[in-house]
Structure formats: structure tokens, C-alpha cells
Structure 1
Amino acid sequence: MTGSQVLIKAVRSGLAALGDARKAPEMQRYMKSELPFRGVSSPERTALCRRLFNDHVLTDEAEWRATVLTLWREAAYREERYVAIALTGDRRYAAWQTPSLLPLYEELIVTGAWWDFVDELANHRVGALLRRFPEDVTPVMYTWATDVDLWKRRTSIICQLSFKEATDTKLLATAIEANVGDRAFFIRKGIGWALRQFARTEPGWVLAFVDSHPDLSPLSVREARKHL
């Protein structure tokens, strides 16, 4: 077997061994997931990833990408997709984090289509690329801000949550303004979250933005003003 096949097999058997059939249905209900859960807690899954990623290091970028996509596309349980996302962020593969990964992350965001997947990808994968490669990634975020896909739009709004003083306020404002009329909960909540987080760094900017955008939803305004 290839290194990819060995790792995939180890992930599936490891999750099966840790699974708790009593917890799984409640986890599935909470996440409103069509995919069933194995019933593996987050700390257990993190420890499993650490051990397996140490034991099965992939040395080829194409193989690494293929492993991520196989775990994702062929997932029979939601935890397999969590592991796929964890693999994209493993430190051993930091050198492969370039704008060329955007199509991969786009697939995970569009097909994942739920906050547990998308928020991790938006903040720690797409956001990290935006910080390192702003000239390449910023134009993509402008495009995503007006995309038909809700989750790509949410990504464009929340991808700078950790940027603080480095926040591109033009991008933030444009992404919010492009979606201000959207009544979808995850868009309204995402707008509020992005503004609330930036208010920790630039409260004056956020207050001025909220005051100058009366069409912001009440939810977005409440979130934005939460700590002001």
C-alpha cells in the first residue's frame, strides 16, 4: 500500500476503535449532520491525529492532497472529515500552504457547507493564506464575497478574525456590504462576529461602520456592539 493508503486505513480503524455508539447519535443531532458520527470526542480525535500524523508522514505534496481529498470525499463518518481538515493544517506540510491550495479549500467549504467545517477552514487555512499572500488571495476573497454559495461568502467575511491591526478594512467592509441584505443566519451572525472581533482592536472603526450602515440586521448589530 502507498503511504496515503496506510494513513487512511489507520485513520478509519483508529476512529472505529475510539468510537462510542452511545455518544454518536447525540453528536449527530447537535451538529444537524446527515453524516453519522463515530462518537469520538475532540480531545481523543486530536490525540489520534497527533499519533497517526507522526507515524505516517507524507513526503509528496500530491499524495498529501490526495489523502486529504480521499478522507473528505469518501467519509462515512463526520470525524473523518475533521481529520482531513486537521491534516491540511499539520505543521509538517506548512511549506505547501500556498495560494495553489485555494481550490482544495474551496471544495471543502462548498461541500462541507456547515459551520464546524467552514469556520475552521476560513480562519486557519484561508485566513492564513490571506495573511501570507495578500496580493494573491485578496482578489479571491472579493470574488467570494459575492458568490452564490453562502459558505464562500461567510468565509470572505470571517477570514480575518485573528488579524487585529493587520485587518484589511477595505476587504472587511466590502465583504460585509455585499451581504448586508442577506437574511441567512450564518451570514448575519458572521458579519456580527467579524465586527465584534475587530472591535477589540479598532472600536471606533466598528462603531462608525455600524452607525453608517442602518441596514445591518439587528443580530449583526448586537454582535458587533457586544463588547463596546
Structure 2
Amino acid sequence: MPRSVSQAAYGVPVDGLVTAVRQGLAAAADPAKAPEMQRYMKSEMPFLGVAKPERAKLARAVFARHPCTSRDEWVATVLTLWREAEYREERYVALDLTGRYPKWQDPTLLPVYDELVVTGAWWDYVDDIASRRIGPLLRAYPEDVEPVMRTWSTDPDRWRRRVSVICQLGAKTATDLDLLADTVEANITDPDFFLRKAIGWALRQHARVDPGWVRAFVDAHPGLSPLSRSEALKHL
């Protein structure tokens, strides 16, 4: 289970924002699309049928009309949208909101992102958090975040482990190669599809800037699954 995050510690959410999100999504709902979206995502939580472009446009407008005036208010609003969601689109908007205020991003948010990863427990949530939230934190605060990623790489929860492997997707030449190697090696023998895919994806992405390192790493690790290996070498 995720580490306990007390919403009370973050104060009161922006009720106007929460209400506007729910009302806006309801108004934009397309019941004809919702079942197929739910089937595609293999989601227990139902969809309203709001496509991503329309949802993103709605989120931008609502966030502009209902700004968060403090960091605590912002986090409390994210947690409210996430925890009280009845439809998957509400959680997508909560993720959009996590990126609204870059000035408030720091390692103290890791318990919040941890909750979203473990309770979300599916690739659409997890990949967004890993690459767009935790990855930038790792690059900005390596001394704080790198040890957490090493811990997550051997955690019983597969989604924490997936985050540890793919959190450097956007790092390019700033990739911490020791961390990448260690998180991959910690999961090489795991049969889980999402971890094997993550390993291949992380290596393939790094191959864009350092193909020689990736070739050498793959050659040195015959235990890589066929899926991980083929993904890693896909463009080499």
C-alpha cells in the first residue's frame, strides 16, 4: 500500500475547481464512446466518454478560472479529484492538475505521487506520473529522489518498480546510467509483461542518445527477456 498521505495536512481543496471539473466533464460526456474507452483501458472504473483533446481543453479553462492560491490547496484539490473520482476522466484531470504549478514541485510530493501510482495501478496513470512528474524531480533533486527510485526498483508493487525503470525517459544525455542499469537489473528476471515492456522502452529511449551504451548493455545481459531485448534494439 502507498505511504499514508493525510489530506487534512494539505488544507481545503478548491471546491469551485472540483465542482467545475465534474460539471464540465458531465456536460462533455459521450455515452456512446464510454463503453469502448473502458474496454480499451480494461478499467473497472467507468468512463464518461470524453476524449483527451476535449478533456485537456476543459482542464485548461477550469484551472484558469479557479486558480489554487497555495501549494496546500493545490495538493488537497488533486487528492480530492483523485480519491473521490467516479469516472476515469476525473483522475486524468487530477493528473493534469499535478503539472499546473511547476514552482511547487519538490521531493516532498513523492508520497502524493506514490499514492497515485499504487492506487491507480495501471499504465495510463503510472507512465504519466513516472515520466512527467517523478522524472523531472529526479533530475532537479537527484540526492533526494535517486534513493527512492532504488528502493522502488525492488518493491513488491510492480507499478513502483515500473516507475523506477521508466522515470528517466525524458532525461536524454542527463540520464543517470548507474541508476538505469541498476533498476533494469533488479527486474530482468521478473516475468511481468509491464516490467519487461518498461525495460525495453527505457533502453530504447536511451538508445536515441547513446546507442553504443545500450548495445553493450544488452549484450552483457543475456537474461533480458525477448520482449525487453527486441524493444531495446528496435531502432538500432
Smaller-chain TM-score bracket: over 0.9
1:47 equivalenced with 2:57 (yes/no): yes
Partner of 2:153: 145
Of 206, 210, 214, the residue aligned with 2:218 is: 210
After superposition, give the CA deviation of every residue in 1:95-137 in whole Å (9 maximum; x if it has no partner).
1100000000000000000000000000000001001111111
1:172 equivalenced with 2:158 (yes/no): no
1:3–1:56 Cα contact (<8 Å) kept: no
Root mean square deviation, CA, Å:
0.8
Q: Kindly state the Cα deviation for residue 60 of structure 1 after the two structures are TM-superposed.
A: 1.4
Of 59, 79, 84, the residue aligned with 1:69 is: 79
Pairwise mapping of residues 115-154 of structure 1 onto structure 2 (< 5 A)? Answer: 115-154=123-162
* Identical residues among aligned pairs (%): 64
Partner of 1:21: 31
- Letter of the structure 1 residue corresponding to residue 106 of structure 2: T
2:13–2:80 Cα contact (<8 Å) kept: no
Question: Structure 1 length normalisation: TM-score?
Answer: 0.97
Q: 2: distance between equivalents of 1:179 and 1:101? A: 25
Structure 2 unmatched runs, 5+: 1-11
2:150–2:183 Cα contact (<8 Å) kept: yes
Q: 1: distance between equivalents of 2:175 and 2:113? A: 21
Q: 1: distance between equivalents of 2:166 and 2:53? A: 25
Question: Structure 2 length normalisation: TM-score?
Answer: 0.94
Structure 1 unmatched runs, 5+: none
Partner of 1:30: 40
Kindly report structure 1 stretches of 4+ aligned residues shifted beyond 4 Å: none
User: Per chain length, whose mean CA-contact separation is higher, i.e. which structure has more relative contact order (CA < 8 Å, sep 6+)?
Assistant: 2
Q: Kindly state the Cα deviation for residue 3 of structure 1 after the two structures are TM-superposed.
A: 6.4
Q: 2: distance between equivalents of 1:116 and 1:162? A: 17
Partner of 1:114: 122
- Letter of the structure 1 residue corresponding to residue 186 of structure 2: A
Q: What SS does the aligned partner of 1:201 have?
A: coil
Q: Kindly state the Cα deviation for residue 61 of structure 1 after the two structures are TM-superposed.
A: 1.2
After superposition, give the CA deviation of every residue in 1:50-71 in whole Å (9 maximum; x if it has no partner).
1000000010111111100010
